[in-house]
Structure 1
Amino acid sequence: MSAPIGVFDSGVGGLSVLREIRRLMPRENLLYVADSGYVPYGEKPPEMIRERSLRIAEFLIEQGARALVLACNTATAAAVNELRSTFDMPIIGMEPAVKPAAAATRNGKVGVLATTGTLQSAKFAALLDRFARDVKVFTQPCPGLVECVEQGDLQGAQVRALLQRYVEPLMQAGCDTLILGCTHYPFLKPVLRDMLPPDVQLIDTGEAVARQLQARLGENGRLAAAGTGDVRFWSSGDPQLMAGVLPVLWGRPGAVAKLPV
């Protein structure tokens, strides 16, 4: 049996990335930690996010993880460099899809829906400087959306009202491409499709992260060769709450253990 891949996020949003990893690499054993006791990371200080990321990484490595995926834009911005300097293994982070969005826009106007922490990070500023010099980028922090997804509210009145408020200024600015800059937001695509003009493109990075992980593991022949992978879940919040939303977000039920760190 091959050693597992560890994946973590501030909450259940990273399940959008886990889905892509599972689709691309069905033979891999996967470990998923939702740090829901501390969600949302986007409103927390970077020092706290680094501390949580280190402790969760240590926990996943204790469970046998041979690679780590930070399925969280905010955690990547705050902690990926420190994790890479601490642990000798493939560590894949995430960042808002500025480069593909800049390539996809037809009118040169790109909107970014993300957490406050991601938008204020030096990593995001560097992304804009590197890939968005020829386009106009409009950013929109989205407090409250992560909490809706954590509760499994993907279609209700509250989430629709929040999305309407956050999308409206981007539409008024003329954006034809929107970056979903938080792993929780892909779960809201059906509602966004309802409220946006059909020619507005939605771009996220879950599939690209899965492909990068596959490439890194394939470089040194460390991809699982046979079988169907197992998936195990932990939450630092209420395991029953996460178990309740797994059928909605993961597509099937699963047992969730209490994260001991």
Structure 2
Amino acid sequence: MDNRPIGVMDSGIGGLSVVRQLKAQLPGESIMFIGDQGHFPYGTKTDETIQMFVQRIANYFVVHDVKLMVIACNTATAAALPLLRQTLPIPVIGVIEPGAQAALATGATQIGVIATDSTIHSGAYEQQLTYLNPTVQVTSLATQPLVRVVETGQTGTPAALAAVQTALAPLVNQPITALILGCTHFPFLTPEIQQVLGPQVTLVDPAIATVQAVQRHLEATQQLSNASQGHLMAYSTGELSDLQRGLAKWLPGVTPQSCAELKLD
């Protein structure tokens, strides 16, 4: 048993979708979440810049003795996961491979992916999907503006629906039957996305499969916590009020043990 926390990071508050699944699937685990809002968004930055930001957060996690790191950001996973696995003394789990596996598990042969500019340009999902199943057809679409819709708290509003309609217009007539929400912000737009694409499209939230991967690793290494209820520590490198608003909206009933600004520069 290992009661040390799990470190979870994102470019902003979208990674709370992974924290939400961790709390639901592994309630005994403690979590240290860092939203790098001071450098938001990652999706328009170079790989080298993203790697620098993620490495700083990873170093903070190592110093504060987390037992495992989750990159709860598709853009950061695509840019930095191989580097961190080479340089860190702790295991690192990203969201892209679990998300691809979850999409294929639906049985879909025509899969759509929506993500940030950087994630789409990297081709990370298409590469992973076709590696796992060479016959799958992948339609990728950059929907960068939707990240800010979530980050600014507009989910559930007519403005959010209008933004989703505009962003997803190229997919409406595509023959996809599963759509990967390839940015951890996007699960918070699930109602709007489902409304635009219709019930025939299965929405795949990589956060669910990512937490299942975390659980498998902790079980295999005998590092599951034996606590009945883990605690949450939440930090923002930017505007703390945005993180507080996200916690209140998307993790109702969860009171962080600490919630503070964090300076890593």
**1:111-167 deviation line (CA, Å, top 9, x unaligned):** 111111111115334214313532321111002111111111112233212211222
CA RMSD of aligned residues (A): 1.8
Distance 2:241 2:101 in 1: 38
Distance 2:29 2:107 in 1: 35
Which shifted more, 89-98 or 23-32? Answer: 89-98
Distance 2:131 2:190 in 1: 27
Counterpart secondary structure, 2:14:
coil
Counterpart secondary structure, 1:41:
coil
Contact 2:31 2:230 in 1 (8 A): yes
Contact 1:240 1:256 in 2 (8 A): no
Q: What pairs up with 1:109-128 in 2 under 5 angstroms?
A: 109-121=110-122, 123-128=124-129
* Corresponding residue number in structure 2 for 1:98: 100
Counterpart secondary structure, 2:96:
coil
Counterpart secondary structure, 1:118:
helix
* Corresponding residue number in structure 1 for 2:40: 39
Normalising by the residue count of structure 1, what TM-score does the alignment of the two structures yield?
0.93
Distance 2:144 2:81 in 1: 23
Unaligned runs of at least 5 residues, structure 2: none
Counterpart secondary structure, 1:211:
helix
* Corresponding residue number in structure 2 for 1:142: 143
**Residues 1:156 and 1:9: Cα distance change in structure 2 (over 3 Å):** same
Contact 1:99 1:132 in 2 (8 A): no
Moved over 6 A (4+): none
The letter of the residue matching 1:204 is D
Normalising by the residue count of structure 2, what TM-score does the alignment of the two structures yield?
0.91
Contact 1:105 1:176 in 2 (8 A): no
Aligned length: 260
The letter of the residue matching 2:215 is Q
Q: What pairs up with 1:57-206 in 2 under 5 angstroms?
A: 57-95=58-96, 97-105=99-107, 108-121=109-122, 123-206=124-207
**1:14-56 deviation line (CA, Å, top 9, x unaligned):** 1111111111211111100000111121111111110011100
Contact 2:130 2:136 in 1 (8 A): no
**Residues 1:99 and 1:229: Cα distance change in structure 2 (over 3 Å):** closer
Contact 1:113 1:141 in 2 (8 A): yes
The letter of the residue matching 1:237 is G
Shift in Å at residue 197 of structure 1? Answer: 1.9
**Residues 1:131 and 1:166: Cα distance change in structure 2 (over 3 Å):** farther
Distance 2:64 2:216 in 1: 23
Distance 1:35 1:5 in 2: 17
